[in-house]
Chain A
Amino acid sequence: MAAHLKKRVYEEFTKVVQQQHEDLSAKKLRLTKPSKSAALHVDLCKATSPADALQYLLQFARKPVEVESVEGVVRILLEHYYKENDASVRLKIASLLGLLSKTAGFSPDCIMDDAINTLQNEKSHQVLAQLLDTLLVIGTKLTENPSVRMRLVEVACKHLTDSSHGVRNKCLQLIGCLGPVEKGVAKEIESQSAKDVQKIIGDHFNDQDPRVRTAAIKAMLQLHERGLKLQQTIYCQACKLLADDYEQVRSAAVQLIWVLSQLYPESIVPIPSSNEEIRLVDDAFGKICHMVSDGSWVVRVQAAKLLGSMQQVSSHFLEQTLDKKLMSDLRRKRTAHERAKELYSSGEFSSGRKWGDDAPKEEIDTGAVNLIESGACGAFVHGLEDEMYEVRIAAVEALCMLAQSSPSFAEKCLDFLVDMFNDEIEEVRLQSIHTMRKISNNITLREDQLDTVLAVLEDSSRDIREALHELLCCTNVSTKEGIHLALVELLKNLTKYPTDRESIWKCLKFLGSRHPTLVLPLVPELLSTHPFFDTPEPDMDDPAYIAVLVLIFNAAKSCPTMPALFSDHTFRHYAYLRDSLSHLVPPLRLPGRKLVSSPVSPSITPNEDPSQQFLHQSLERVYNLQHLDPQGVQELLEFTIRDLQRLGELQSELAGMADFTATYLQCQLLLIKALQEKLWNVAAPLYLKQNALASAAAKQILEETYKMEFMYSGVESRQVVIIHHMRLQAKALQLIVTARTTRGAEPLFGMCEKFLQEVDSFQRCFISELPHMQGSFVDKLLDLMPRLVTSKPSEVVKILQTTLRQSTFLHLPLPEQLHRATATIIEPTGESDNPLRFTSGLVVALDVDATLEHVQDPQGTVKVQVLYPDGQAQLIHPKPADFRNPGPGRHRLITQVYLSHTAWTEPCQIEVRLLLAYNSNRSKASAKIPKSTWSDSMEALPQSENGIEGTIPFSKPVKVYIMPKPARR
């Protein structure tokens, strides 16, 4: 009965909320509508001078107008418009009309006729332009209506002959935005007036005003964007516009030519002043290349950018872009690139520059030298040498895109890209390194190129160095000298910047596994072994030695003859490294030895990944444990969790998967422990201990479920269900515990209600997944739902307890890819003994540098937390610009954290850590449900020790020694 009553109250309550809401909004509208337009009317009538009227209008424009009153306001405005003599006031009214017709929900077709009528008698060009602008707004709101569009286009055509550029501009814009796109429709409506919009716009390509010319081209582009197929005939016209005096015209014309080249790549155009013909795309390519040496840098950037997307261009045109014939005193001279190549192919080592090494050789036929090429010659050479770095970046990007689609071009542009590594602007250098990485599967570096590339390793900018390591990871090197050179330079880098350790090791790992045969002849030298003598054992903790070993071991993986060259200590070191740096050292089959590898891989079969197998086997085992005795279940779970955690440490690629399942099993284990029957059967006075255990378990499960949901990338909805299900179980457990501890039924009412609501929303969210959950907690609960709704809290609790205990353990399906979000704070290192001193009350900036892996949307979720010794915690949101994205799935946070505190007597350590903020609203589940399901459950969120709601710490805390000094007086 009580429950019944409750339900009714609840229903009523929801109703009331809705009604109130409606009431409020309706009232608001009715109140404001008359006053607004009336006030305006009064104001405008009162206005004695144009200046006054303008003031009123300006004030009026600041306030929003409701949808219902828009039409009234428009009428009043129009009325004043006709009366008004002053052009500026009319202009303002016209612009207001446009603003008003933008109001959401207002359909402006009722005011269109009036707006068109106003055009008739208008003398002022400015007002005319503004009115056309208003019409444009109206037109864009009514795009579905073809007759309206037709009419507006007609109006625009009529005003195209206006003498003011502003008016013509707007007309063209209007035609561009509203002109008929489908040919057929236009003809049907009115064949006479539906003239070819393209022709109309095309006529204005020769307008006397550059602004109108630009507008015409833009309108044409607009038509193209709206899906009209532009005619090829305008190509010639567009080409002429490339020589325009004004940069905005040229810039727009370049775009137009690009569009046409994409539309008609294969059609043939004649070359002027000769009988030859070439493909249109080639011709356009040549023309755009020409614009790379334009006088205006805006045009140059535009041209360079567009070049990148012209992939249909023929290869010989493409290769011309890198061509630049050098000469000196009319004799042919080879470029530095050619010389380097020759030196390389002749097998000589560079002996340093001799005087006159670059002396020009052959005579050049004066007639054959073409100084201003008509074609694509040297476009990129110019672009990459440009004065403005914007142009250079655009050129590098274009090179990248073209090289990705053409391997032969990639090979050719290598020299130029390598040159760009020495640009004066860091952004350009970085961009060219990234570009090189992207095309690296198409290219093999020559030794001299490698030399230049490696020289950049000494760069003081960390970004550059890391990008370069990344590049070296996927580079092909042609000779063993190249490998040696790379290793030497990387080791040099390591001594100069010890913080690059991890990145260098990783780089060598890939270098080794990519070039096993090149590493093989280097092994004795690298390990400094001697055929007769024993050499001293190197220091195992030396990062440089580890780096060498990483290279060798990774090469040895696919080169079985290599281990024969190892000395004894190398094998020992292998065992050690395999264990301590398992992500860098692969498992090796070593002759005459027991396989030294992790316990997970009993045999190495290339086809099947043993660790993967192991993961699945152990999970299989766990899921079959329904029938074991509780003690056995617990033990098995514990073992499996331990195994999985170890596996995660050893196999970096499986770490996410293993951790994920381990966490899940952990939750299950906690649940089982908390539900142990003998604990629950003890007498009431002994509740205390058991309560503490159960509520702690519930809390921890909740925490873990949030981690599972938000810390892993690649979690699919199937997993989300299971996670939510686990959470539901934890909540049930919480409810049971509270029911047993609290006296009296009153507080339980609310809790039960809330729990049932959650069950309900769970059902709504995951209705599709329910069939997969046979015999689970929720399945049983839903069966009992009618009973639960009507029963008392104490009964509910009882039912819950039994269901919880009887429910089966849900099988957790694993997704393809699962990665855990991790963060490593590189700086501060936490090793410094020198406290950071600052005056109390002032701030000190602490540089924080961290790498984040597999974090989705780090800008929104990653926070920095600072914990002071007095327990005070500070949460810092880094700026979006502080995040960089060096590679897929990886982010880098470089930010500054401002610290401040009152004076201390002793220096003390503070903790800095990274947190992953989550918000249940953005969870995958809530995407389907109409919000606010979790808004109340948020209150019941786990209160972690650090007391921050909705965040998961995901990095190791780093300690920083600080000392706020008292301010000197």
Chain B
Amino acid sequence: LVFFSLGPGAGQDVGRSCILVSIAGKNVMLDCGMHMGYNDDRRFPDFSYITQNGRLTDFLDCVIISHFHLDHCGALPYFSEMVGYDGPIYMTHPTKAICPILLEDYRKITVDKKGETNFFTSQMIKDCMKKVVAVHLHQTVQVDEELEIKAYYAGHVLGAAMFQIKVGCESVVYTGDYNMTPDRHLGAAWIDKCRPDLLISESTYATTIRDSKRCRERDFLKKVHETVERGGKVLIPVFALGRAQELCILLETFWERMNLKAPIYFSTGLTEKANHYYKLFITWTNQKIRKTFVQRNMFEFKHIKAFDRAFADNPGPMVVFATPGMLHAGQSLQIFRKWAGNEKNMVIMPGYCVQGTVGHKILSGQRKLEMEGRQILEVKMQVEYMSFSAHADAKGIMQLIRQAEPQNVLLVHGEAKKMEFLKQKIEQEFHVNCYMPANGETTTIFTNPSIPVDISLGLLKRETAIGLLPDVKKPKLMHGTLIMKDNSFRLVSPEQALKELGLAEHQLRFTCRVHIQDPRKEHETVLRVYNHLKAVLRDYSVQHLPDGSITVESILIQATAHSEDQGTKVLLVSWTYQDEELGSYLTSLLKKGLPQSTS
């Protein structure tokens, strides 16, 4: 039985993922994210929901973080250090490496820039990371005696993983965010046919089927190339991690291929640190990078150099990646201001922009922007939008479900209306139950757990030796004694069970009389019965004993004349209870009578 609860966050919402799963008595927390949109208490999940009183460590068996995006790990130091959790936290190696950088960056912005207090400190981040246990892909980690987890590759960002959580024979797969189509630096998510009882899948793009990645890439490259050839400058506002690396690789290889000379710059120190990790975790990247890194690590960019503020005024073409991605502040905005006046230049927005930001304004076609100090900035440069998203689309989600073959599906991390459509599709195509609980809603799923029973090898061999080869389709009858003791089930041979229980064995025998109309002599009747049985039961050993009785395996058949009517013979059939199946079959067979034509 899987008991599932949506804890403090997530559900039908993007951002602040935090899910609580109870599986066969074990409680696991999946992700511990924060909400970027809030600056008050709402930004973190409400952990008091988990336990009213008592320590979290006692209640939770482990915490699993799927990847390093802040909406999946942002609340971790708060949760472990400020609320108090001392149990193990599991994440993959790249996530463990990159996560603290992002947390530290986030802390700096909130505390140093916005001046908030009552926030976690650097030391807390460090302490928190000490509790983290790193796992490898496809490595089965035994959390305790019963609970085990296993990570699968998920694409999305470097180190993103899907986790299988297994207790006994019940299992849950949590996908985190994943991507089913490979991109320039990461491969596609993959899972084996693990047939979990429940698959918890993200559904950001539940109602979208996307066009081929290649078209978008080509468009992007063509635009950059044309602008650079014209002598213009290209500004690409990005967030420091994830897409930025993909675009870097894309431009780097294109520059290499086309033998271009225009400089490419990358701003901010944060990225350099992160790039370092990208270089290290080559095994987590896609096929091309993995295969070529012996000659050259793709993340050691030849054409991409660090950006200096002074470069922005340099003449000639250049391409600059600058943070942040929505042009709302910082370096990207500064550069934008400088370049906006020239129609030769171009800005490419590679992602979604929140309403109110400069990015959103220019994307919606605004050409005159009011900046701070009532300055009016006229935007003459070209504005382009390129979506490079690394979530699975509807087809991808279906593909993953097909691969994993779950009993139930649960959709999170998406909008309710869109999820409804996908839910309907999943139920229609795969004939499995699909759930889409709201925030804070608890879903209970009942499973039919198969209960493993230990069987002694001797008994198994003895039983399989009888009769034909095991057939998948037919259930097989087996004789044994089931012993339930100390929370374990064992199937042992009757003898052994008797021995263990210290009981003596009693023979139980069924005897049955069958009347047959046969005027002949007794031994002739016996012979006829013998021939008949021999003909019918080919696979069994039928013997005619010298004392006038017949044995079929261990079943004894004797014939005597009826005391009153000589024409009627009485067949005495006797079998032990172990042979019940065969015995009852024999009697029913004999009751039908003997075939008339006997020669």
- Is A208 within 8 A of B395, CB to CB? no
Nearest CB of B to A413, in Å? 13
Beta-carbon contacts under 8 Å, A706-754 to B:
none
Nearest CB of B to A352, in Å? 7
Question: Nearest residue in B to A389 (C-beta to C-beta)?
Answer: B287
How far is A452 from B191 in the complex, measured between Cα atoms in Å? 36
Say which residue of A324, A327, A371 sits within 8 Å of B429 (CB atoms).
A371
How far is A329 from B218 in the complex, measured between Cα atoms in Å? 24
Total residues of chain A contacting the partner, CB 8 A: 46
- Is A422 within 8 A of B217, CB to CB? yes
Closest 5 A-B residue pairs measured CB to CB? A336-B215, A387-B182, A419-B214, A330-B207, A458-B258
Listed by A's residue number, 19 A-B pairs whose Cβ atoms lie within 8 Å are A161-B468, A161-B469, A295-B192, A333-B211, A336-B211, A336-B216, A337-B215, A355-B363, A366-B424, A371-B395, A371-B398, A372-B402, A372-B429, A385-B182, A385-B213, A422-B218, A424-B253, A458-B258, A460-B256
How far is A366 from B398 in the complex, measured between Cα atoms in Å? 15
Contacts of B403 in A (CB 8 A): 295
A764 interface residue (CB < 8 Å to B): no
Contacts of A325 in B (CB 8 A): 209
For the complex with contacts A384-B214, A455-B222, 12 further pairs of A-B residues with Cβ separation under 8 Å are A337-B215, A353-B219, A355-B363, A366-B421, A384-B212, A387-B187, A422-B214, A422-B218, A424-B288, A458-B258, A459-B258, A460-B256
A405 interface residue (CB < 8 Å to B): no
Nearest CB of B to A616, in Å? 50
- Is A208 within 8 A of B425, CB to CB? no
- Is B212 within 8 A of A385, CB to CB? yes
Assuming A208-B472, A371-B394, A387-B182, is B257 touching A326 (CB within 8 A)? no
A67 interface residue (CB < 8 Å to B): no
Contacts of A387 in B (CB 8 A): 182, 187-188, 286-287
- Is A423 within 8 A of B214, CB to CB? yes
Give the one of B182, B211, B424, B470 with max A CB within 10 A: B211
- Is B394 within 8 A of A419, CB to CB? no
Mark the stretch among B305-313, B380-388, B434-442, B516-524 that contacts chain A: B380-388
B365 interface residue (CB < 8 Å to A): yes
Task: Give the interface size class of chain B.
Answer: 35 or more
Contacts of B210 in A (CB 8 A): 326
Contacts of A459 in B (CB 8 A): 257-258
- Is A372 within 8 A of B217, CB to CB? no
How far is A423 from B184 in the complex, measured between Cα atoms in Å? 10
Contact with A along B213-244 (1 / 0, CB 8 A): 11111110111010000000000000000000
Question: Nearest residue in A to B415 (C-beta to C-beta)?
Answer: A329
Question: Nearest residue in B to A381 (C-beta to C-beta)?
Answer: B212
- Is B208 within 8 A of A328, CB to CB? yes
Contacts of A327 in B (CB 8 A): 207-209, 394
Nearest CB of B to A819, in Å? 35
How far is A419 from B211 in the complex, measured between Cα atoms in Å? 12
A163 interface residue (CB < 8 Å to B): yes
A4 interface residue (CB < 8 Å to B): no
How far is A333 from B215 in the complex, measured between Cα atoms in Å? 14
Nearest CB of A to B459, in Å? 16
Contact with B along A649-678 (1 / 0, CB 8 A): 000000000000000000000000000000
- Is B209 within 8 A of A324, CB to CB? yes
Nearest CB of A to B351, in Å? 14
A248 interface residue (CB < 8 Å to B): no
A956 interface residue (CB < 8 Å to B): no
Contacts of A642 in B (CB 8 A): none
How far is A776 from B258 in the complex, measured between Cα atoms in Å? 63
Give the one of B212, B221, B253, B399 with max A CB within 10 A: B212
Give the one of B223, B258, B286, B365 with max A CB within 10 A: B258
Question: Nearest residue in A to B426 (C-beta to C-beta)?
Answer: A371
Nearest CB of B to A816, in Å? 43
Contacts of A324 in B (CB 8 A): 209, 211-212
B139 interface residue (CB < 8 Å to A): no
B193 interface residue (CB < 8 Å to A): yes
Contacts of B566 in A (CB 8 A): none
Assuming A327-B209, A353-B219, is B421 touching A389 (CB within 8 A)? no
A103 interface residue (CB < 8 Å to B): no
B464 interface residue (CB < 8 Å to A): yes
How far is A460 from B254 in the complex, measured between Cα atoms in Å? 10
Nearest CB of B to A350, in Å? 10
Nearest CB of B to A369, in Å? 7
Query: Taking beta carbons and an 8 Å cutoff, which residues of B are in contact with A?
Result: 181-182, 184, 187-188, 190-193, 207-219, 221-223, 225, 253, 256-259, 286-288, 363-365, 382-385, 394-395, 398-399, 402-403, 418, 421, 424-425, 429, 464, 468-470, 472-473
Give the one of A206, A353, A452 with max B CB within 10 A: A353
- Is B214 within 8 A of A326, CB to CB? no
Assuming A326-B210, A422-B218, A424-B184, is B257 touching A369 (CB within 8 A)? no
A35 interface residue (CB < 8 Å to B): no
Assuming A355-B363, A355-B385, is B257 touching A461 (CB within 8 A)? yes
Beta-carbon contacts under 8 Å, A455-469 to B:
455, 458-461
Say which residue of A372, A381, A385, A388 sits within 8 Å of B398 (CB atoms).
A372
Contact with B along A301-328 (1 / 0, CB 8 A): 0000000000000000000000011111
Assuming A389-B287, A459-B258, is B383 touching A371 (CB within 8 A)? no
Nearest CB of B to A210, in Å? 12
Say which residue of A208, A330, A460 sits within 8 Å of B257 (CB atoms).
A460
Contacts of A208 in B (CB 8 A): 470, 472
- Is B464 within 8 A of A163, CB to CB? yes
Beta-carbon contacts under 8 Å, A352-391 to B:
352-353, 355, 366, 369, 371-372, 381, 384-389
Question: Nearest residue in A to B214 (C-beta to C-beta)?
Answer: A419
A885 interface residue (CB < 8 Å to B): no
Question: Nearest residue in B to A423 (C-beta to C-beta)?
Answer: B214
Contacts of A425 in B (CB 8 A): 288
- Is B257 within 8 A of A371, CB to CB? no
- Is A422 within 8 A of B221, CB to CB? yes
A11 interface residue (CB < 8 Å to B): no
How far is A327 from B286 in the complex, measured between Cα atoms in Å? 27
Beta-carbon contacts under 8 Å, A742-775 to B:
none
How far is A496 from B190 in the complex, measured between Cα atoms in Å? 43
Nearest CB of A to B222, in Å? 7
Nearest CB of A to B100, in Å? 30
How far is A354 from B19 in the complex, measured between Cα atoms in Å? 40
Nearest CB of A to B233, in Å? 17
Contacts of A355 in B (CB 8 A): 363-365, 383, 385
- Is B214 within 8 A of A330, CB to CB? no
Say which residue of A326, A385, A389, A416 sits within 8 Å of B209 (CB atoms).
A326
Nearest CB of B to A431, in Å? 15
Contacts of B286 in A (CB 8 A): 387
How far is A371 from B393 in the complex, measured between Cα atoms in Å? 10
Nearest CB of B to A428, in Å? 10
Contacts of A206 in B (CB 8 A): 472-473
Contacts of B287 in A (CB 8 A): 387-389
How far is A762 from B246 in the complex, measured between Cα atoms in Å? 70
Contacts of A388 in B (CB 8 A): 287
How far is A355 from B383 in the complex, measured between Cα atoms in Å? 8
Question: Nearest residue in A to B349 (C-beta to C-beta)?
Answer: A355
A420 interface residue (CB < 8 Å to B): yes
Give the one of B424, B468, B469 with max A CB within 10 A: B469
- Is A419 within 8 A of B184, CB to CB? no
Contacts of A366 in B (CB 8 A): 421, 424
Assuming A295-B193, A371-B425, A385-B181, is B385 touching A353 (CB within 8 A)? yes
Contacts of A293 in B (CB 8 A): 399
How far is A161 from B187 in the complex, measured between Cα atoms in Å? 44
- Is A295 within 8 A of B214, CB to CB? no
A335 interface residue (CB < 8 Å to B): yes
Contacts of B257 in A (CB 8 A): 458-461
How far is A504 from B191 in the complex, measured between Cα atoms in Å? 48
- Is A369 within 8 A of B425, CB to CB? yes
Say which residue of A295, A371, A381, A452 sits within 8 Å of B218 (CB atoms).
A452
